[in-house]
Amino acid sequence: MRFIMHGSIAAALSLMSAVAIASAAPSQPEGKGKTVTSEVSENFALKLFRLAAKKGDSNIVISPYSVSTALSMTYNGARGRTKDEMQRVLSYDGLSDAAINKQNADLSKSLLQVNPQSELAIANALFAKQNAVFNPNFINTNKKFYGAQLEALNFADPSAVVKINDWVKENTKGKIPTILDKAPKDVILYLVNAIYFKGTWLNEFKKSETHSADFNLQDGSKKSVQMMNRSAKMLHLQGDNFQAVMLPYKDNRLQMCIFLPSPQSNVTALIARFNDRNWQEWINKFSETQGKLALPRFRVEYKTELGKILSEAGMPCAFNDDCADFKNMIDQDVFISRVLHKTFLEVNERGTEAAAATAVEIMPRGIFVNSAPPFNMICDRPFVIAVRDQQTDTILFLGVIVDPQAAN
pLDDT digits (tens, 9 = 90+) for 88-127: 999 998 899 999 999 999 999 988 886 678 899 999 999 9
Does 32 score more than 50 pLDDT? no
Q: What is the pLDDT of residue 396?
A: 86
Examine residue 222 and state whether it is found in any structural domain, yes or no.
Answer: yes
**Are residues 69 and 109 located together in one domain of the fold?**
yes
**Do 292 and 306 reside in the same domain of the chain?**
no
pLDDT at 31: 35
Q: How does the average pLDDT of the chain come out, rounded?
A: 87
The C-alpha atoms of residue 402 and residue 390 are separated, in whole angstroms, by 26
Residue 16: pLDDT over 70: no
Looking at the domain assignment, is residue 68 inside a domain?
yes
- Dist CA 81 CA 200 (whole Å): 44
pLDDT for the residue numbered 406 = 59
Q: Are residues 51 and 82 in the same domain?
A: yes
What mean pLDDT comes out for the span 158-163? 96
Question: What are the φ and ψ backbone dihedral angles of 6, each rounded to 5 degrees?
Answer: -85, 125
Is 150 found in the same domain as 75? yes
Q: Are residues 184 and 228 located together in one domain of the fold?
A: no
Considering the domain architecture, whether residues 259 and 343 belong to the same structural domain is answered as: no
- Residue at 28 is within a domain: no
Q: How many domains does the chain have?
A: 2
* Pair (246, 256) in one structural domain: yes
Q: Is residue 187 located within the same domain as residue 306? A: yes
Per-residue pLDDT, 38:
54
- Please indicate, yes or no, if residue 145 is contained in any of the structural domains: yes
- Whether residues 97 and 232 share a domain: the answer is no
Strand segments (E) across 139-241: 149-153, 189-200, 211-216, 222-239
Q: Are strands 60-62 and 222-239 parallel, antiparallel or unpaired?
A: unpaired
Q: Which spans in 172-314 are helix H?
A: 267-272, 276-283, 307-313
Residue 18 domain flag: no
Residue 284 domain flag: yes
Same domain flag for 189 and 290: no
Residue type, 339: V
Give the structural domain span for 336. 2-11+39-200+299-364
Is the domain of 397 the same as that of 359? no
For residue 30, tell me if it sits in a domain.
no
Helix (H) or strand (E) holding 395: strand 394-401
Looking at the structure, do residues 116 and 258 belong to the same domain, yes or no?
Answer: no
CATH number of the domain that 65 lies in? 3.30.497.10
Asked whether residue 253 carries a pLDDT value surpassing 90, the answer given is: no
pLDDT of residue 17: 29
* Residue 180 binned pLDDT confidence (cut-offs 50, 70, 90): very high
What's the predicted TM-score (pTM) here? 0.86
- The answer to the question of residue 281 being in a domain is yes
